A and B are shown apart, each in its own frame.
Chain A
Amino acid sequence: MSLDDVAVSVTGISKRYRIGGLQAANRTLRETITDAVLGPVRGAIDLARRGRPKTGADDVIWALKDVSFDVKRGEVLGIIGRNGAGKSTILKILTRITAPTQGRAEIRGRVGSLLEVGTGFHAELTGRENIYLNGAILGMKRREINRKFDEIVEFSEVQKFIDTPVKHYSSGMYLRLAFAVAASLQTEILLVDEVLAVGDVSFQNKCMGKMEDVAGAGRTVVFVSHNLSAIKALCSRCICLQHGEVFRDGPSSSVVDEYIAMGGTSGSVFALPDHDQSDTGQALRILNVDLLRSLQGPQGRTTLELVVRCQAQENIAFNFEWRVVSLTGVPILFGAPEIFRHAKLKGPIGQFDVAVTIQSMPLAAATYRLELAATQAFRRVLDRVHIPFSVGSCDPWGSGFDFRLGSNWAPQFGTDDIRIRR
């Protein structure tokens, strides 16, 4: 690979944070003076008590340790990892917001960064004014913004309110405008963080669509996300960070699968509000459910992929029952493999993950609730959870019904049956 093909080159980047330093972010002068005066005294006491002075090593965390990778020109690289794995830190270093402690990175080309949509938006300013302000903050020249202005307004769909202060905008309008400005950023290299994590489903779809365009337009993109399906869909290659180090680097699908398999998913995890996590009396508990994706298969049927994390107190055989319920509480679909197929699951004692796929559900575009229960011996419910999910529509007639249900129309024209009565 020649040097010209590399857009971003990261070599041995490390970043150290002093936890003490972090806590002292807003320390006052008095505290600093007290520390300066008492610090040596405290150090001496530590020395006398433990035979060694308290070293600074305890107060230091390495958010990144010796991270190296190259991004080729035109490549779309995803970065995944748990919270605290260093995803955002690497992006902050590449965008020059913060400096690395060690190592070196080289970026060849104009860089645009989107760590958030609407950075610098001011509530008192109008939509028009914010487009210019936000554009300038993102690094666009005024001429460039002038040229893009109409496109931004059109994409944001807030034409009527463009001269209204954004504090009067609905949150949806605000986000659309903010994303529209961000999306108009035309740089060869784009660094993106979790931009898609906000807004309603249709907004996220719109963002994803734009991201796909960006990814397909031959630009170099580094995309940090918790959204594993987005990573799979957009990125050809993916890096998984763990504890500040590169854990895996390879094709997205295999890295994501491995990440899921090692139980690292923390995407759309539903912390379960009606769950008291401290209660350990139950034989088996569902700790959390990670909705990996909801996708539309052939014939417009919806398939859900989930990872359910369980905690078992004893070795028991169980299985899941599930039910899809409308938001008004009307039951729509039901499944129970134990009942239907006598399938049983047997997990180890302790924590484990179960990957669940619910396939080919004929569902119209709407939001539903999936009720998932771990059950045993047909009727004993061990634990249950509720997860909201949405089904989108791509049906060109806008009916919302994408699926095709088989139905028979075999006309049985008898003599009298179908006579139209007048």
Chain B
Amino acid sequence: MSAVRVDPTGGELRENRERLAVDKTVKAAPPVDLATHGASVQPDEAPAAAGEVPVFTIEPVRGWVSLHLRELWDYRELLYFLAWRDIKVRYKQTVLGAAWAVIQPFLTMVVFTLFFGRVARLPSDGIPYPIFSYCALVPWTFFANGLTNSTDSLVASQNVIKKVYFPRLITPIATVISGLVDFSLAFIVLIGMMYYYGVSVTHNVVWIPVLLILALVTSMGFGFWLSAMNVRYRDVRYVVPFITQLWMFATPIVYPSSMLPEPYRTLVGLNPMAGVVEGFRWALLGVNTAPGPIIAVSAAATVGILISGAFYFRRMEKTFADLV
């Protein structure tokens, strides 16, 4: 710059009373808009005249807090959109797309049939092993995916959690619910298989929705616990695949519970997913494994996990934005 000796605009500059004002403070200038230009803006509607003004009180939160189910209900549209997004996005940029929802349990069934059905010759309550295992794998896959995805759901949506308020419970709920689409697709294939194997449907089929809700509640209840823990301890996401794997073998999926001697059979029955899986076989395939009173016990336990999970989640919720 020191090379510039001449005023490049000639005398013009000085005539304009060009000034380099140097002092310690900037003088107060009238407010300026440097920016209205270029913005063609629609006139804003005036805010809707509100009959009653909602009042939010923001206070420190300590200890256990209410679930705010009313607020959760108010946000049901967000729940819908988040579940819808999960569904839309899940198989984007895959060649096979939604077929993955079917391929997953179907291939597992093929592998199980080969190893457990053919090689190990596990009993299957007198029905063909493929449909025996697939019928269990459909609700199981729904449960296991729901558990895994909801555990990760808060961490996966941390960008949103740090920037916008909404009842955080919506996140794991939406994740589990979005799994229902995958379930439906796999279920259609199950119907096809039933037709292929000539299984006649009994009126017990009306219990399927109830059993599905039990699977959903189990998945959600554990999802609440695990997702809230995963915010603080990322170990959880690594533990969950092992849990689901062990849980699967503790559930009568590759084997019938009729194979087990008595104390174990009741013990396995305490596992809500055992009730779901056996119930599915009973309702669809007519296997004599009608859920006994034990399913009521496990269902009650599941509801307990759901409610305690929701409260634990709400208790941890205040730290999510700071920790995630």
Contacts and interface: CB of A to CB of B under 8 A. Distances in A.
Contact of B233 (A32, A96, A210): A32
A292 interface: yes
Contacts of B206: none
Contact of A107 (B24, B41, B58): B58
Interface stretch (A43-51, A64-72, A279-287, A335-343): A335-343
B163 A116 contact: yes
Contact of A322 (B6, B20, B21): B20
Contacts of A104: 57-59
A332 B9 contact: yes
A82 interface: no
B95 to A, nearest CB: 15
Contact of B56 (A96, A122, A136, A141): A96
In this complex, the interface size class of chain B, counting residues with CB under 8 Å from chain A, is 35 or more
A214 B44 contact: yes
Interface stretch (A34-42, A200-208, A414-422): A200-208
A106 B58 contact: yes
A292 B16 CA distance: 23
Interface stretch (A54-62, A241-249, A270-278, A293-301): A293-301
Contacts of B318: 98-99
A109 B234 contact: no
B18 A359 contact: yes
Contact of A355 (B6, B23, B39): B23
A105 B59 CA distance: 7
B81 A294 contact: no
A206 B39 contact: yes
A373 B31 contact: no
A119 B160 contact: yes
Contacts of B77: 136, 141-142
Given A103-B60, A188-B47, A354-B22, A208 B36 contact: yes
A21 B60 CA distance: 18
* Most chain A C-beta atoms within 10 Å of own C-beta, residue among B21, B50, B89: B21
Contact of A384 (B1, B33, B38, B44): B1
Nearest to A344: B22
Contacts of A257: 25-26, 28
Interface of B: 1-2, 4, 6-9, 12-14, 16-29, 31-39, 41-48, 50, 53-61, 77-78, 80-82, 85, 88-89, 92-93, 157, 159-166, 232-235, 318, 321-324
